Structures are given as C-alpha cells and as structure tokens.
Amino acid sequence: MEKPENSTIVIFGASGDLTKRKLMPALFDLYVRGELADDFAVLGTSRSAFTDDSFREKMNSDLDQFYQKNKISKRQKREFLQHIYYQTADLTQKSEFVALKEKLLQVDAQAKTRGNFIFYLSTSPSLFAVIAENLGEIGLAKPDDENGWRRIVLEKPFGFDLQSARELNRKLQKIFLEDQIYRIDHYLGKETVQNILAFRFANGIFEPLWNRNYIHHVEVTAAESIGVEKRGKYYEKSGALRDMVQNHLLQVVATIAMEPPIKFDATDVRNEKVKVFHALRPMGEKEVEKYVIRGQYLASIIKGEAISGYREEENVDPNSRTETFVAMKFFIDNWRWGDVPFYIRTGKRLPDRVSEVVIHFKKTPHFLFQSQRSHENGDNFLIIRIQPDEGIVLRFGMKVPGAGFKIKTVDMDFHYSDLGGDTKLPDAYERLLLDCMLGDATLYARADAVDACWEFIMPILRAWQKNPDIKLFGYPSGTWGPEETRKLIEGPHVDWHYPCANLSQDTGHCEL
C-alpha cells in the first residue's frame, strides 16, 4: 500500500456532527491500520471555544462513542490524540483567518507536515465560498510547489440548484485549480460501489451482456428506515431529490452505466462517467408528473411504537410540501443503453435501511419449461447489495429434481461477510480521506459531473415549483412509499424488487 505524504488536515466545522461521527473514527481507523503518514496532524476549527487539550478531551469521548469497529487500545488512542490541535475561529471574519494561519504554520512546523494542507469544509454550505476566498486571501490556496500542496474538500450539498452550483464552482475555481478541489460524494467511497467497477471491468463474463441486447431494465434503490431526525431545518430546503438523487443515486447509475475507461485514474474514470450524465434523456417539465413520483412519510405505528409523520418533525413546517421519497424512470440515450429503462427510488422511513442495484436481464425468447410460478420463467437478475449485508446475488432457473422439467429460481449468493477473517469493510470516509491525502480524485465528483447532474434534475424541481397540483403522495412510515410508485414500472408481472426478508404476499410491503 502506498503511504500518503505527511500532511495537516484542517477541519472547518470541527465541533459538528460529521467530525465526531465520521471523520475522526475514519482517521483513527486509518491510524490504527498504519495507513496514515508517520507525521500527520489534524487542526480542528469552528466557532465553539476549545483549547488543544479540551478538544482532545472531546475527541477522546467521541471516539469511545462513535468508533465501533474494533476494541480501542487506550495507548493507540492516546498517541492518536496527540496529533490533534484546535483553533477557535469565526469563519465569516477574515481577520480570524490570520490567527488560523499562524496556528496552522505552528502545527505544520511541530508535526513536520511540510506545508501539505487539506482544508476539509464540513460547515454549512453557505460558508463554502467565504472560507475558500479567505484561504485565497491569506495565501493558503496556492497550487502545489516545492513548499507543499493544498487541497480543498467540500461536503455535499454542492449547490442548491444548477445556478448556485455553477456560481460556487466559479468562485472556487478562481482560487483553486480543479485538481485541488475534492467534492465528496460518500457513496463513491463505499466499498460495494467501488466493487461495481471491479465486478464489471475485472471479469470478462458480464461485460458482453451489459447492454440493451441483454438487459431489460435496471433498478437502483437507496432506502432508509430513519426519518429526518434532527435535520429538519436542512431537509426542508433540500428534500430527497436534492439530498440523494442529484448526487448519490446518479453517481451509482453512472458507475453501472459507464463505458470501460482506458486507464483507472481520475481523468479517465470521470470522463466516462460524465458522458453518462450527458446522455441522460432530458425530461420535459410536462413529463415530470408521469415519470417522477414524490411522497412524504405519514405517522404510523411500527412494532408498537408511534412514529411521527414528516410534518410533525422538529423544524418542519406543518404544511410542508418537501418530498421525503422520490421514485423515477429515465433513459440513457447512447448505444449501450438505448431504450433500457432505469428506475431509481429513495426515501426515508421505508421498511429497511438498504441500498442495492438490480440488473434485470431479458427473458428467454421462448419458454420451453413449466415453472412453479409462470412469470418466473427465465427471470434472471443480478443484485448488487451496496449495504447492509454487502454482496452480490445472481438469480437463475434450475430444474427441480425429479420427474418432468419443472423450473425453480435459485440464488447464487455472495456475502462479503463470508470472506471471514479480518475482512472488515472500511467506512467510505476512510477511503475518501486516504485518497485525498494521496492526491487521487477518482472517487470524487468533478465540476462538470455536478453540473450535468443538476441539469438533469432542474426540470423536475421547476415543474414541482411551478405546478403545486403535481401530487405529493403521503405514505405511512414503514412502507415502501406511495402505491403509485408501482405504476412507474410497466409490463406484466414486473414490479420493484423489495429487498426485505418479511415481505407480505398480500400487500407487497414489509411486515414489521
């Protein structure tokens, strides 16, 4: 394994949730596995008042709570915490960046990080441009030279719509070069999403089938059982389309649909992905009602527990029209995918937390055999389970032993957990942080891709905004979203794949 060069990561918004839940556990795990540079430092900054010591104390107890992978060795944790520093700063004030720079240079000298800095923006998106501008003004944004490199990492959401995303890109690119900018989409860091690339391009057997001649349709699902929790304020302005579809789901679609890149590097992989985004068939505003279903979760009782509806959640307007569920159908207009429908859906308060891709292959042209259920005849599909129970399933028909030729579908099922031993899937943030330290942006979103995804999403946002008559369907918490979602998938005996163990035969919903 290549080790990254020494560097300091400056985390803006370090007292927030992401730092304690994701960034610190990821850094600690990389440290424990010996994958960080020998000399590295983390400088946290935010408005909250901490000293180096009190911030280390906080990280100490946060790690106890949020680092769940292995048993923590007290010695390793103590050593790791010595690499952490803190500077209080109001990030809207230019003057405070001067003190921040002074502290950074001190940390850099002490930790011998050779002027290599990563600026990780885990703040409100409204601060992204201001922080970048201030970094530019105090001379911390210059491109690589012999005195070190500078990279900036931005959390999502990247823009609120096409115009604001372009504006943000324009501002950032005035200060940083594109190859210094790392736009995080944590789905790309998931081991199983990366495995789609390996599965497709490291095996000769699937790629010949991976096209309109053999594939009937493709489904991508990202379901969550939780509601909006404490994020009502953010979610009200975002909704599922901006929060999940514009970024995570479309990135997964591109990973499934892209052509093989010439080389496995940031330029070639991302060039192929952006071609998929450009090939998404634009949706006219008038078609939105037909191809996009939006829903909002309603109060319900799950396992005897009363669950609030979205409109009863904290910081949510009691008349809110924000969607917590989206399902849509679209096409990718190119030679590989012409006329193959892609169906994607995502939602909160669905029966399970599960993300998966299902590739449905075309049926045989002529059925020779009887099957237990006639519509199962020749039903072949491949499921790529992104999370949880990560793995791959291939479904095909098999003769039932005995007289006659009865066919039954069976599954060939690979679970990552079967690899056994020490094979634990790293968290997406571990992979992404390490890649950024190594200067590899392959798994980060490029400006043109973000732009193209917004372009595809805009007609939907505009149609919803202009036409309040487009229905927002309520769905009881704990179900698979509005019933209307089923109508999106056309064809006899074709329905969504419901990835749930306790599926009720009557309702098609999960029995809770």
Interface residues with ligand BG6 (CB under 6 A)?
A: 156, 222, 224, 243, 355
The CA distance from 27 to 36, in Å, is 8
Q: How many helices (H) and strands (E) does the chain have?
A: 15, 18
Residues 351 and 303: beta-carbon distance below 8 Å:
no
The CA distance from 347 to 478, in Å, is 11
CB of 243 to ligand BG6, least distance (A): 5
415 has catalytic annotation: no
Q: Crossing angle, helix 162-175 and helix 447-466, to 10 degrees? A: 150
CB of 404 to ligand BG6, least distance (A): 45
Four-residue CA torsion sign, 493, 498, 503, 504: negative
The CA distance from 13 to 47, in Å, is 8
Nearer to ligand BG6, 222 or 436 (CB): 222
Alpha carbon separation from 31 to 185, 424, 434 (Å, rounded): 23, 16, 11
The CA distance from 83 to 86, in Å, is 10
Q: Which two tokens stand for residue 216?
A: 């009937």
CB of 414 to ligand BG6, least distance (A): 21
Nearer to ligand BG6, 108 or 430 (CB): 430
CB of 498 to ligand BG6, least distance (A): 18
CB of 262 to ligand BG6, least distance (A): 30
Nearer to ligand BG6, 108 or 352 (CB): 352
Collapsing DSSP to helix, strand or coil, 451 comes out as helix
The CA distance from 309 to 296, in Å, is 8
Collapsing DSSP to helix, strand or coil, 429 comes out as helix
CB of 323 to ligand BG6, least distance (A): 12
Counting every residue written for the chain, the total comes to: 512
The CA distance from 254 to 24, in Å, is 30
Catalytic one of 83, 186, 217, 248? 248
Q: Which two tokens stand for residue 421?
A: 């031993």
φ/ψ region of 247 (left if φ > 0, alpha if ψ in -120 to 50, else beta) reads alpha
Q: Which two tokens stand for residue 427?
A: 């968290």
Q: Which two tokens stand for residue 424?
A: 């634990």
From the list 242, 233, 187, the residue with the least C-alpha distance to 445 is: 187
In eight-state DSSP terms, residue 231 is -
What is the secondary structure of 466-493 as a DSSP string? Answer: H-TTS-EEEEETTSSS-TTHHHHS-STT
The CA distance from 456 to 250, in Å, is 10
Q: Which residue number is nearest to ligand BG6 in terms of Cβ?
A: 243
The CA distance from 225 to 302, in Å, is 11
CB of 270 to ligand BG6, least distance (A): 20
CB of 313 to ligand BG6, least distance (A): 13
Nearer to ligand BG6, 156 or 446 (CB): 156
Contacts of 295 (CB under 8 A, 6+ apart): 323, 324, 325, 326, 347, 472, 473, 474, 475, 481, 482, 485
Nearer to ligand BG6, 35 or 352 (CB): 352
Nearer to ligand BG6, 224 or 430 (CB): 224
CB of 236 to ligand BG6, least distance (A): 12
**Catalytic residue positions, numbered:** 248
